[in-house]
Amino acid sequence: MIQPGLRDALERWLAELDSVAGRSDKTVEAYRADVLAFLEFLQGFEGDGLGTAHLGRIKTRTMRAWMAHERGRGLGARSLARALSAVKNFVRWIAERESFDPTAVLMTRSPRFKSKLPRPLAKDAARAMLDTVELQSTTDWVAKRDQAVVTLLYGCGLRISEALGLKGKDVPLGEMLRIVGKGDKERLVPVIPAARAMMARYVDVCPFDIASESHVFRGVRGGVLNARHIQKVMEQARAQLGLPATATPHAMRHSFATHLLNAGGDLRSIQELLGHASLSTTQAYTAVDTARLMEVYEAAHPRAR
């Protein structure tokens, strides 16, 4: 069995990720599951009584055996890469405290996988989606609600969870909106006039009282609007418009970033608007071609001028 000391170390590491590194609850839970799965494999591979000392004796063959085991039970390359990252971080953290050499773990190569680039909508398709979403309901306030949500995704680059998380204290929308995103990171997002107008239209006809701490977007029975509803509405709209299955709520956020960059916005500013920790993530979101990225590079890099 896994020794209590090792379990305690895992919980301390996870607590540090939560409080110091600012990882989201979902990320912390995913890391817990990944590392526990690794430790359970290690227990079977190395024998009972698994403690922190065992981590200092891990060999390259052990890591290869674990990865082969994970692939054998159906774990994809992307998920395995995430699990390996969690294991490396945990072992590195313990190694610093127990003073052992974690090289065998840290030098393990991550499996290769093809990054899935987001597929933004063309400008005319994005505008058509905004108009068509409103036509999916014969109930006036519901139609206005759905259009307001999708307008926030495209006009402000919000995640659907961020849009549906807005509270009564956030309306009426001003020129700037404070958003608490992944990892509880705050950012200020400019609100375009169209988004302010759509929100005002919806709030004006919403049949439920929108108190300061209650959610703005409500379901037909008054509860918090579920993201699945917006997904279904967009599914219906894209079928009418002949758009591909990639025309999802998140694609509206991709479209916001791509269209902003193509209009002359710089990557660093778009990174801040989207709330990305890494600029490389923003580059993937924008899905721009190499020529456009070189234009941005040449305009921004001091040695390019």
Residues recognised as catalytic: 159, 182, 250, 253, 276, 285
**What's residue 302's pLDDT?**
52
Question: If DSSP states are collapsed to H, E and C, what string results for 11-57?
Answer: HHHHHHHHHCCCCCHHHHHHHHHHHHHHHHHHHHHHCCCECHHHHCC
**What's residue 293's pLDDT?**
52
SS3 content of the chain, % helix, strand, coil (to 5): 65, 5, 30
The confidence band for 112, taking pLDDT boundaries of 50, 70 and 90, is confident
**What's residue 157's pLDDT?**
86
For the stretch 227-277, pLDDT in tens is: 999 999 999 999 999 999 889 998 898 888 888 777 776 666 777 777 766
The region of weakest confidence among 68-82, 148-162, 227-241, 260-274 is: 260-274
- The structural domains of the chain, ordered by start, are 4-106 (1.10.150.130), 123-302 (1.10.443.10)
pLDDT more than 70, % of the chain: 84
Q: Which helix (H) or strand (E) holds 77?
A: helix 77-98
Extract the runs of DSSP E, i.e. beta strands, from the chain. Answer: 176-180, 186-190
**What's residue 89's pLDDT?**
93
Does the model's pTM come out above 0.75? Answer: no
Q: 291: phi > 0 → left, psi -120 to 50 → alpha, else beta; which?
A: alpha
pLDDT more than 90, % of the chain: 46
The residue among 231 and 186 whose pLDDT is bigger is 231
**What's residue 304's pLDDT?**
44
The confidence band for 48, taking pLDDT boundaries of 50, 70 and 90, is low
